[in-house]
Structure 1
Amino acid sequence: MNTIRDLDLKGKRVLVRVDFNVPMDGDGNITDDIRIRMALPTINHILNQEAKLILCSHMGRPGGKRVMEFSLAPAASHLAAILERPVLLAPDCVGGESEALVAAMQPGDVVMLENLRFHKQETENDTVFAEQIARMADVYINDAFAVSHRAHASVVGIPACVAEKAAGFLLQTEMDFFHKAMDTPVRPLVALVGGAKVSSKLGALKNMLDKVDTMIIGGAMANTFLKSQGIDMGASKIEEDLLASAREFVREAEEKGVKLYLPVDFVAADRFAADAVVKNVTSRDVPEGWMALDIGPASTIYFQEAMADARTIVWNGPMGAFEMDAFARGTMAICQAVASSHALSVTGGGDSNAAVKKSGEAANISYMSTGGGAFLALMEGKTLPGVEVLRK
C-alpha cells in the first residue's frame, strides 16, 4: 500500500477523504476538534508540496438529504483558523459549481466539499456519484481510518476511479499501531474488552483467542459470561441468546491456554440512575432486582494484577457505566493501570477513548485509535475495504 510520502503532489489536485464528523453543541460550535487536528500532518504535507487540496467528509446522518445542521461549514471555518489560510466551502460535493470552484484553484488553495452524505449515493457506493467526485482529482488520499470499514463511495468508489492513490499519515499510523499490537506484539499480549454487548464483540473475542495470552472481560458484557457459568446476576443486562456462545468461548479459552479473567465483584445498584442506591457485592451476591454497573474494588485489583507483566495491551470498551460518577471508579482505575504500564497500549472505540480522556491519562496511552467500528473490524480479523482498495 502506497503512503502519501511515495507520491509527487506538486501542482496536482489532491482529494483527501478525512473524518471531520466532529461533535457540535446546540449553537453549532465544535466541542472537540481532535478529528480535525489528527488530519493536520497530511494536510500540511500536501500544502508544503504546493498542491491543490480538496477535502471531503461526512457529518452526522442526514439520510441522503440536504440538512443544513449537518453542514461542514463549521469544520471549514475551524480548519481555516488553524491553518491561518482560507478554506473555501463548496456548495456541494458534486455539480457544476463545485467543479468550477476546484478548476479555479491555485497551488496552496484549500477547498472543502460539502457533506458527502447529503447524497444517498454516498452510502450506496454509487458508481456515477463516485466518478463525478473523482474527476475533480488527480490524486486520492484516504486519511479517514474511522470510516475505512465502510464500502461507501468516498472510501472505495472514488479511489477505484483515480490512478494515483495512497494512505495519509493518520491511516498509516492507525494500521501500523494495530499491526504492532495484534500481529507482531511483544508478549505477553493482554486484551481488555468491555462495553455493553457480547453480540457486538463476539467475533473480535473469538478471533483474539488465537492471538492473545490474556483476556480480561468487563462491562455489561461480562454479565452474560458469568451467567453462562451458572451465576445469578439479578436484574443485570444479560444477552440470553448468547449464553451458549459465552459458555463455548470460556471452554475454548481454556483449551487454547488463554488466561481468562472475569469480574469477581461489582458496584451494584437498585436502578440505572446517577442517584441510585449502590453497594459493593461479590459476583455471586448481586441482589434480586439489582444490577451490576461497574467492576468492584477486588475486580480492579484482580485485573491490574492480570496486566502487571503485560508488554502489549489492546483495550476496547469500558468496565462499567462510567458516564455516571457512581459507576466510574472501576473504569478510571483501569485507565490509570493501563497508562502506568510499561506496555505498548492501544485503545480503540469512542467509549474507551472518552473514558481515558475523563481519567486525564490520555497523554500516557501509546496510541488512541480514532475509529471504533474500524478498530473492531480489525480485531475481528477482517480487512478494511478502504485499505484494500489502496492496495489494488
Structure 2
Amino acid sequence: QFARVATAMRQGGTVYLNDAIASGNKDFSTTAMPLAMGRVALGVFSRRELAEHVVRAREAGLVCFSGMKLDKLKQLHGVVARGRVELILAGGGLAMALLKASAERDGRRISIGAAGDPAQREAKAYVPATAVEQARKLLATAEERGVRVVLPVDFVLDDGRVADEIPPDAWQRDIGPKTRQLFHDEALAWAGSTKRRVAFHNGVMGQFENRAFAAGTESLVETLKALHAAGVAVYVGGGEGRAALERYGSLGDVTHAFTAGGTILKCLADEPLPFLEALAAQASGQD
C-alpha cells in the first residue's frame, strides 16, 4: 500500500518542503511524502518553531493542561517524567481523571458526575477506567519527582450552578470561582519563587464558546498575561488555547502561541515526531 502511495506522490514532483508543523501530528502524508521524494527540507517557519520556541517551552516549570482529550494524560506524564516541571494546574476532563485517581489512591470516595458513569461511555466527556489508571501513574511519577499537582476545588455544572462536589447525574462544564482564584494564586506564587521562568499552557478550562462556561478560560488568560508581565516566558499550544488567547487578550500577551497542539505536546513529552524522522531519514541520503 505504501509503495502505491509513494508512486502516486512521485508523479506530482520530486522535491518536498514541509513548513506545516501543525499538520505533522497525525497526517500520514507528512510521513509518507518525504520518503517518496528525491530531495526534502524543513521550512523556515517550522525550523524556527522547533529550534527556538519548542526548545524553550520544553524548559517549562509551570504546565497548565486542560480539555477533554484524555490522551493528553500520556503526554503530561511524559512531561513530568522529564523532570523539568515543578507545578501542574489541570482542568477539564483531564482534571476529572486526576481527581478520581487521587481519591482512589487516598482511599476517598468522590463523584466526577456523569463523566464517571459507564452508561455515558459514548459521551465525549466520559472518563473511562483506563484514563483513571493513566492518571494514577502520572500522580505517582509526580510525587516521585516532587511535582505539585493542583486540581479544581469547585465546578460550574451543566445547569449553571456552582458546586464543590459534582452530583452523580451532572456534568462539569467549567472550573468554579474558587478554583479560578486558586490557579491564579498558585501560578503567581510559583513565578515569585522559581528559577524556571517558563510556563506552558494547552487547552481551555471549560466550554468557553458558551458564555455561561467561559469564566474559567477567561480567568486563565488573565493569569497567563500576569505571568508574562512578571517576566515569565509564556507559551500557549493548541488551537483552542490560541483561540481563547485571541478572544480574551491578544497573541502579544504571551511569549509565543503555537499553531500546533499535538505536535508540541509530543515534543514536550520526548515522544518521536514521525514527520521529522521521515525528513531526517530521506535527507541523510541527499548529497
Same topology, TM > 0.5: yes
Greater CA radius of gyration, 1 or 2? Answer: 1
- The amino acid of 1:207's aligned partner reads G
The residue number in structure 2 matching 1:196 is 68
The residue number in structure 1 matching 2:9 is 130
The residue number in structure 2 matching 1:315 is 201
2:241 is aligned with 1:348: no
How far the C-alpha of 1:329 sits from its partner, in A, is 0.3
Q: Where in structure 2 are the equivalents of 1:316-335 lying within 5 Å? A: 316-335=202-221
2:125 is aligned with 1:246: no
Residues 346 and 368, structure 1, Cα contact 8 Å, conserved in 2: yes
Equivalent in 103, 106, 111 of residue 232 of structure 1:
111
The residue number in structure 1 matching 2:161 is 279
Equivalent in 74, 78, 86 of residue 213 of structure 1:
86
2:258 is aligned with 1:385: no
The residue number in structure 2 matching 1:167 is 42
Equivalent in 2, 17, 32 of residue 141 of structure 1:
17
- Cα 1:159–1:141 change in 2 (3 A) is farther
The residue number in structure 1 matching 2:177 is 297
The residue number in structure 1 matching 2:147 is 258
Long gaps (5+) in structure 2: 104-108, 116-124, 192-196
- Cα 1:386–1:244 change in 2 (3 A) is closer
- The amino acid of 1:168's aligned partner reads G
Long gaps (5+) in structure 1: 1-120, 270-276
Match of 2:222, SS state, is: helix
2:75 and 2:247 map into 1 onto residues whose CA distance is 26
- The amino acid of 2:235's aligned partner reads V
2:220 and 2:244 map into 1 onto residues whose CA distance is 10
How far the C-alpha of 1:160 sits from its partner, in A, is 5.2
Q: TM-score, length-normalised on structure 2?
A: 0.80
How far the C-alpha of 1:216 sits from its partner, in A, is 1.2
* Aligned residues: CA RMSD: 2.3
Match of 1:232, SS state, is: coil
How far the C-alpha of 1:154 sits from its partner, in A, is 5.1
How far the C-alpha of 1:362 sits from its partner, in A, is 2.3
1:325 and 1:201 map into 2 onto residues whose CA distance is 25
Residues 315 and 352, structure 1, Cα contact 8 Å, conserved in 2: yes
2:177 and 2:153 map into 1 onto residues whose CA distance is 9
- Cα 1:340–1:124 change in 2 (3 A) is farther
Of the two structures, which has the highest relative contact order with CA contacts closer than 8 Å and spacing of 6 or more? 2
How far the C-alpha of 1:251 sits from its partner, in A, is 2.3
- The amino acid of 2:7's aligned partner reads V
The number of equivalent residue pairs is 253
- Cα 1:181–1:132 change in 2 (3 A) is same
Q: Where in structure 2 are the equivalents of 1:112-127 lying within 5 Å? A: 126-127=5-6
Match of 1:157, SS state, is: helix
How far the C-alpha of 1:378 sits from its partner, in A, is 2.0
2:256 and 2:35 map into 1 onto residues whose CA distance is 27
Residues 223 and 238, structure 1, Cα contact 8 Å, conserved in 2: no
